[in-house]
Structure formats: C-alpha cells, structure tokens
Amino acid sequence: MNYIEVVDLPPGQSPVVAETCYRSAEALEAGQILFLPRHGFPLSGSYQPLFSSPILHRGSKTVSYSPSTGKLYGTASTRQSLSLLEEMMKRFAIFAQKTVTRLLPIYRTGLVRARTSFRPIEIETRPMPWRKDDKRLHIDAFPSSPIQGNRILRLFCNINPAGQTHLWRIGEPFEQTARRFLPSIKPPFPFSSAALMLTSTTKSRRTFYDHIMLCLQDRMKRDQRYQEEAEQVKVEFPAGSTWLAFTDQVSHAAMRGQYQLEQTFLLDINRLHDQSTAPLIVLERLKGRKLV
Ligand code: SIN
Ligand code: FE
C-alpha cells in the first residue's frame, strides 16, 4: 500500500492542472495522505509571541476557532496575543479553504468548513487518557457532532518555528481495521439516539453509522496489540509543509511535534469520485444493511 501521494503544489495562487486535481482526489479517496512539501502557511516574524507565551487553558490540548460563531475556544491568552492568535486562525482558515478549492475543485460545492485548530504543545510528552490520546492509531469520529455518513477532510500545517518535524504513524487500510473490529461492535440501545439529542449530548441524530465509527475509534485506541502489531509506517512532515487526509478513513497517530494548525471540513459523500472506499459504503457492505 502506498501511504503518501506527493503533490508539488507551487506557492501562490496559480491554477492547478486538471490531471493533478484528479490524481489528488483519487489518492485521498483511496485512503492516502496528500503531502504538499512546498506549500506552507506563510507566517511573518510578528507572530513570534504565539510561540513563546502560554496560549492554552489548563486541560485543553488545542485552541479552536469556530467559523460559525467567530469565537475562539480553549485559550488563556492575554489581550495582545489573543488578537494575534485570532488573526492567525482566521488567516489559516482562509488559506486552508483556498488550498482545498484549488486542488480539489470537484469537492467545492459539497464542502462545509468546520473547526480550525492550533496545537501548541509537544505531543510526545503530553499526558492523555487513552480515549483522548492521539498517539494511538485511530480514525476520527465526533461524539457530539454526528456526520451521518459524510466525510471528514482535514488539512494540517506544521508551523514549528524551530524547524522541528511532525511525526505520524499511519496504519492499515480502513476495510482491514473494520473487518477486525466489526464483529465485536453491538448495535446501540433502542431510542439511544433520541435520548442523546434530548439531553443535548449530540447536535443531531447519532446514526448507526456514527455509532459504529465511535466504537471503532475506541476499539482501535484501547487495543494495545493492534497498536503494536497492525501494519503501519512512520511518516515525518517537515516544518513548512502541508498535508491532507480523510481522517475518518485513514488510521493515524500523531507521535511527536509541536505547533500545528489544522482545518476540518465536512464533505458531502455524494461529491466523491468514488464512493466505494468511503467508510459508510465499506461498512454498509460488510454489515449488509443501510447504516444512515
Ligand atoms: C489527530 O487528528 O489525531 C491529531 C493530528 C495531529 O495532532 O497531528
Ligand atoms: Fe485524529
């Protein structure tokens, strides 16, 4: 399996040739990571205070910015660095959106911008309970925001000012992991999705699909043997580079690195070139029934 597809997207806004756009979408949908070594998020020296002052609230691992409310969450910044932080997050959100629409024009009409996040602490030494620990191989699924079969597309930038690389492990293809854990995943209790909505635990209906994806994430993270023995590779992303992946599909673990920006997009499953590799379609095939 080829884990990475390199796209030499030049800096600037020049149009991308159709063949590259097609190859990029095809690689992402096949479960590969799209790596853009020359396409970094530009940051001038005036942002330096963000790399030296305390930015996070106690207990939070990321600062996030919601484009729908225009608010920042998880930060304990003082006034001056707060406005700098806000400016960086907003600029990055635009950079991410432009990159995706330039490289993946077929997704443009089905793309919704979700959270933007900044991760200023060193991952390697950050203590985390297993369920929240991104150093364990996992796929992404959101407990409070069901995605009902649509896709999670994420764009990451390593903005480490000292030039430190960002290290990931990438695991086996989605279907292999699904086949491994699916037999142990039971259906949700009757009426549980209604109860989750009534208690505002979820923002919309947690479908059988969302239930399976959350269970899958848990099973993967909890299983020490899987963590050690599943087929996997290590990949380093240099400072100044950008990468994208469907993180609902790609088994990933962030092992080392500090100062990273990330933009989440939700993508309508109907916009894919090839739906057959989407987690919803793979799981429906394996279960022999509709899941949303
Ligand atoms: C994750 O999505 O698991 C975290 C990625 C990272 O911090 O590199
Ligand atoms: Fe993740």
Query: What's the pLDDT at 196?
Result: 92
Q: Please report the atom of ligand 1 found closest to the CA of residue 247.
A: 2
Q: Please report the atom of ligand 1 found closest to the CA of residue 156.
A: 8
Span 130-182, pLDDT tens digits: 989 999 999 999 999 999 999 999 999 999 999 999 999 999 999 999 999 99
- Among residues 67, 47, 45, the alpha carbon closest in space to that of 55 is found at 47
Taking residues 1-16, what's their average pLDDT? 86
- Architecture per CATH, domain 4-287, reads as Sandwich (2.60)
- The reported pTM is 0.96
Residue with CA nearest ligand 1 atom 8? 254
Q: In angstroms, rounded to a whole number, what is the distance separating the alpha carbons of residues 192 and 223?
A: 26
Ligand 1 and 247: CB distance under 6 A: yes
Answer for the pair 237, 166: CB distance below 8 angstroms, yes or no: yes
| Long-range CB pairs of 8-14, under 8 A, 24+ apart, other chains included | 8/36, 8/37, 8/38, 9/36, 9/38, 9/39, 9/99, 9/102, 9/103, 10/38, 10/39, 11/38, 11/39, 11/40, 13/98, 13/102
Ligand 1 and 221: CB distance under 6 A: no
Please report which ligand is nearest the Cα atom of 141. 2
Q: For the chain, what are the domain ranges? A: 4-287
Q: Report CA(142)–ligand 2 centroid distance (Å).
A: 10
Inform me whether the pLDDT recorded for 69 exceeds 90: no
Query: What's the pLDDT at 53?
Result: 73
Q: In angstroms, rounded to a whole number, what is the distance separating the alpha carbons of residues 77 and 120?
A: 12
Span 28-66, pLDDT tens digits: 999 999 999 999 999 999 999 899 877 888 778 889 999
Ligand 1 and 29: CB distance under 6 A: no
Write out the two tokens for 187.
């259906």
Query: What's the pLDDT at 14?
Result: 81
Span 182-218, pLDDT tens digits: 999 999 988 899 999 999 999 899 999 999 999 999 9
- Among residues 146, 153, 152, 222, the alpha carbon closest in space to that of 188 is found at 146
Ligand 1 and 158: CB distance under 6 A: no
Q: Report CA(123)–ligand 1 centroid distance (Å).
A: 9
DSSP output for the chain: ---EEE--PPSSSPPPPHHHHHHHHHHHHTTPEEEETT-PPP--GGGGGGGTS--BPTT-S-EEEETTTTEEESB---HHHHHHHHHHHHHHHHHHHHHHHHH-GGGGGGEEEEEEEEE-S-STT----GGG-TTS-B----SSS--TT-EEEEEEEE--TT---EEEEE-S-HHHHHHHHGGGPPPPPTTHHHHHHHTTSSSS---HHHHHHHHHHHHHHH-HHHHHHS--EEEEE-TT-EEEEETTTS-EEEEE---EEEEEEEE-GGG-S-GGGSHHHHHHHHHTS---
